[in-house]
Amino acid sequence: MGFNKFLLLLCFVVSGTAHAAPAILVFGDSLSAGYGLAAHQAWPDLLQQRLDAGQRKWQVVNASISGETSAGGLSRLPAALAQYKPAVVILALGANDGLRGLPLAAMHDNLNSMILQIRQSGARTLLVGVRLPPNYGIAYTEKFQQTFADLAQQHHVALLPSLLAGVESRPELFQADGLHPIASAENQVMENVWKVLLPLLAAKH
């Protein structure tokens, strides 16, 4: 191969790498991992389909794990940021902290640390909350919900107050465990995320 042809090939490879689709990292628990569903039915997959249909050059990477707590997410996040180098992180953790009645101060600190790490990486954050069932007591559930709002305000990051808005009050849209949406409800979940995510995608990378 001549030197000039080699240079042309090198430029092509570098150019292709430079224009790889930026990543949206979904970093959550079973509500984002698609518990009880086929992989293509979970809302992150539906989000990728929405992006592809609109010819938006983004790649959704779902690093969610069923049962994950904010503490578990904090321990996994550095490796995920290094591996995927996302432009946007959808941080959807805390539900299992609440369901297990874990200290909310610890959840706050864990989420706070993750938001700081995401910012340091150069990515933008979409913080996603959930609403707990009322049987956990008004004081705990209100403080739980407020934690997400306080963090979003403190760090000036986008907030989706409840991932399951429009679903949570309809028992027929949940699996037998009463916690995880059925497949037909996942599109509503994706739409909830989409409305808040879209402005982040429009921002300069």
How many beta carbons lie within 10 A of that of residue 183, not counting itself? Answer: 16
pLDDT confidence band for 19 (50 / 70 / 90): low
Quote the Cα angle for 119-115-79, to 5°: 80
* Residue whose tokens read 């930026």: 22
| pLDDT tens-digit readout, 156-189 | 999 999 999 999 999 999 999 999 999 999 999 9
pLDDT over 90 for what percent of the chain?
84
Helix H, strand E, coil C: the string for the chain is CCHHHHHHHHHHHHHHHHCCCCEEEEEECHHHHCCCCCHHHCHHHHHHHHHHHCCCCCEEEECCCCCCCHHHHHHHHHHHHHHHCCCEEEEECCHHHHHCCCCHHHHHHHHHHHHHHHHHHCCEEEEECCCCCHHHCHHHHHHHHHHHHHHHHHHCCEEECCCCCCCCCCHHHECCCCCCECHHHHHHHHHHHHHHHHHHHHCCC
Instruction: For residues 130 and 148, give the distance between their C-alpha atoms in angstroms, rounded to a whole number.
Output: 9
Please pick, among 29, 30, 45, 64, the residue that the annotation labels catalytic.
30
Confidence of residue 203 (pLDDT cuts 50, 70, 90): confident
Fold of 24-202: Rossmann fold (3.40.50)
Name the band, by pLDDT with cuts 50, 70 and 90, for residue 15: very low
Residues forming a β-bridge with 24: 60, 88
pLDDT-based confidence at residue 122 (cuts at 50, 70, 90): very high
Per-residue pLDDT tens over the stretch 90-116: 999 999 999 999 999 999 999 999 999
For 196, counting Cβ atoms within 10 Å of its Cβ (0-12 exposed, 13-18 middle, 19+ buried), the class is middle
pLDDT at 204: 61
Q: What is the pLDDT of residue 133?
A: 85
Confidence grade of residue 17 (pLDDT, cut at 50, 70, 90): very low
Mean pLDDT for the stretch of residues 193-205: 89
For residue 205, the model assigns a pLDDT of: 53
- Residue from 15, 156, 177, 205 carrying the catalytic annotation: 177
Q: How far apart are the first and last CA of the chain?
A: 37
Please state, in angstroms and rounded to a whole number, the distance separating the CA atoms of residues 95 and 105. 14
pLDDT at residue number 14: 38
Considering the candidates 45, 64, 97, 180, report the single residue annotated as catalytic.
Answer: 180
State pTM to two decimals. 0.89
Higher pLDDT, 135 or 3: 135
Q: Does residue 30 have an active-site annotation?
A: yes
Whether 45 sits among the annotated catalytic residues: the reply is no
pLDDT at 136: 83
Angstrom distance (rounded) from CA 35 to CA 65: 9
> For residues 66 and 99, is the Cβ–Cβ distance under 8 A?
no
Known active-site residue 205: no
Assess whether pLDDT exceeds 60 at residue 70. Answer: yes
